[in-house]
Amino acid sequence: MHWLSTRRAKTVMVLPTLIIYAVFIIVPVFVAIYYSFTDYSGLGKAEFVGIQNYTRMFHDALFLIAFRNTVVVLICSAVFLLAGSFLMALLMNVSFRGNAFFKMVVFAPYVIAPIIIGIIWGYILNPNYGLVNSVLRSLGLDVLAIEWIGGTKWSPLALAIVFTWQVLGFHATIFLSGIKAIPGDIYEACSIDGANAFQRLFYVTIPMLKETFIINIVLIVTGVFKIYELVYQMTGGGPAHQSELLTSYMYFTVFSSRRYGYGMAIAVAILVLSIIGSFSYIKITTRKQRSEA
């Protein structure tokens, strides 16, 4: 079976995957970039308009609202997910009866279709008959029964909470893998030196999980820029597009308003923002690690 190790064999095995990736990922990206410089409406010929679609974003009030909402969801999700998934991983790393069931329950929301999650949480957070507000009103806490979704103020926070609930188990699993990879000898040496649990956490576990934190941050950034089903099912982007995120507004622009050129420009902007956000964090983190070394 030594022939499997040859360059030709490796090329033959990898080539189908590369072709599929190119056809369904690379080519559509370049097609979107091309149409982003046109005024294509889905019918007729696409006329070249230069950077007009990109400059239009800075004067589009709805785009700016969607961008603001996306930033709010990104910041809230990053805070909730990093802290929550890390603490959840620490719990998952503790041996106790029912640990396997606990891991399954934590990870379960990640395998549920986002559209179903949107339906479930849409009923839970509905300001009129939702479970949360019904419980609050029954407890006499009417002042806390706010408009979680469908309003202009709390919808981004509600989307961030639901997104966090959905992917918490996935990110916790990544942290758990990083924790499992830390050699046990290090913890034994710390215990011999008299380090308590908090000292081991802050001086051993967290510093040795820097790469894992980077991976989770990048996945959070790219994940937030792909949120669509939750917006569609929970708020529909309303009222008057006040709860839109960039992805949902791009979808509305392309398929509802038939402004394909402008919609493709928004899609390219989302891609660029996602790349810039991810690589900026990686660059800052790696530079800090080099300076500390």
The number of domains in the chain is 1
- Residue 90 counted as domain residue: yes
Residue 152 is encoded by which pair of tokens?
């202009």
- Residue 1 counted as domain residue: no
The identity of residue 240, as a single letter, is: A
For residue 17, the number of C-alpha atoms closer than 13 Å in the C-beta half-sphere is 5
- Residue 16 counted as domain residue: no
**Number of CB atoms found within 10 A of residue 151's CB:** 16
Kindly state the average pLDDT of the residues 110-139: 92
Residue 92 pLDDT greater than 60, yes or no:
yes
Q: Are 129 and 216 in contact (CB under 8 A)?
A: no
- Residue 118 counted as domain residue: yes
Helices 155-181, 61-92: inter-axial angle, 10-degree rounding? 40
Q: Are 230 and 118 in contact (CB under 8 A)?
A: yes
Kindly state the average pLDDT of the residues 157-167: 95
Residue 50, domain extent: 38-292
Residue 77 pLDDT greater than 90, yes or no:
yes
Interatomic CA distance for residues 235 and 159, integer angstroms: 9
Each residue's pLDDT tens digit, 246-285:
999 999 999 888 899 999 999 999 999 998 888 887 777 7
- Residue 199 counted as domain residue: yes
Q: In sequence order, what are the residues at sequence separation of 6 or more whose Cβ sits closer than 8 angstroms to the Cβ of residue 14?
A: none
Closest CA to 270 of 32, 24, 20: 32
Q: What is the CATH number of the domain that holds 235?
A: 1.10.3720.10
Instruction: Write down the pLDDT at residue 239.
Output: 86
- Residue 3 counted as domain residue: no
Q: Are 218 and 131 in contact (CB under 8 A)?
A: no
Helices 99-107, 155-181: inter-axial angle, 10-degree rounding? 140
- Residue 20 counted as domain residue: no
Confidence of residue 7 (pLDDT cuts 50, 70, 90): confident
Interatomic CA distance for residues 242 and 231, integer angstroms: 11
Instruction: Write down the pLDDT at residue 287.
Output: 67
Each residue's pLDDT tens digit, 165-209:
999 999 999 999 999 999 888 888 888 888 888 888 888 899 999
Mean predicted lDDT score pLDDT of the chain:
89
Beta bridge partners of 48: 38
For residue 19, the number of C-alpha atoms closer than 13 Å in the C-beta half-sphere is 6
Instruction: Write down the pLDDT at residue 4.
Output: 61
Instruction: Write down the pLDDT at residue 292.
Output: 58
